[in-house]
């Protein structure tokens, strides 16, 4: 694996040369945030796979990546 390419999931990569170093579906320029936004907006898995040429497993990897990302966040209550 190249030094500037970092695998986050088998299907999610971060490469500073692709989409400004944001996580994308491997082998594409489809950002994880786009997939999550489309799901949040009500698109179905089938609609996303058809529109962006990615697989259902890519969508699941994007969801897993997001879940792992937020699980590491520290929330401080200010009261």
Confidence of residue 9 (pLDDT cuts 50, 70, 90): low
Q: Which residue bears the tokens 């994308």? A: 24
Number of domains in the chain: 1
In a domain, 28, yes or no: yes
Torsional class of 55: left (φ above 0), alpha (ψ -120 to 50), beta (otherwise): beta
Question: What CATH number should be reported for the domain holding residue 51?
Answer: 1.10.10.10
In a domain, 64, yes or no: yes
Q: Are residues 43 and 17 in contact, defined by beta-carbon separation less than 8 angstroms?
A: no
Name the residue range of residue 16's domain. Answer: 5-68
In a domain, 78, yes or no: no
What backbone phi and psi angles, to 5 degrees, belong to 35? Answer: -60, -45
Q: Please state at what angle helix 45-52 crosses helix 56-71, rounded to 10 degrees.
A: 110
Which tens digits make up the pLDDT trace of 37-76? 999 999 999 999 999 999 999 999 999 999 998 988 777 8
């Amino acid at each position: 694996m190249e030094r500037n390419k970092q695998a986050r999931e088998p299907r999610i990569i971060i490469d500073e040369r692709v989409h400004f170093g944001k996580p994308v579906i491997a082998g594409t320029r489809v950002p994880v945030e786009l997939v999550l936004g489309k799901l949040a907006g009500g698109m179905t898995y089938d609609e996303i796979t058809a529109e962006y040429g990615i697989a259902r497993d890519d969508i699941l990897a994007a969801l897993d990546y997001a879940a792992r990302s937020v699980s590491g966040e520290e929330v401080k209550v200010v009261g």
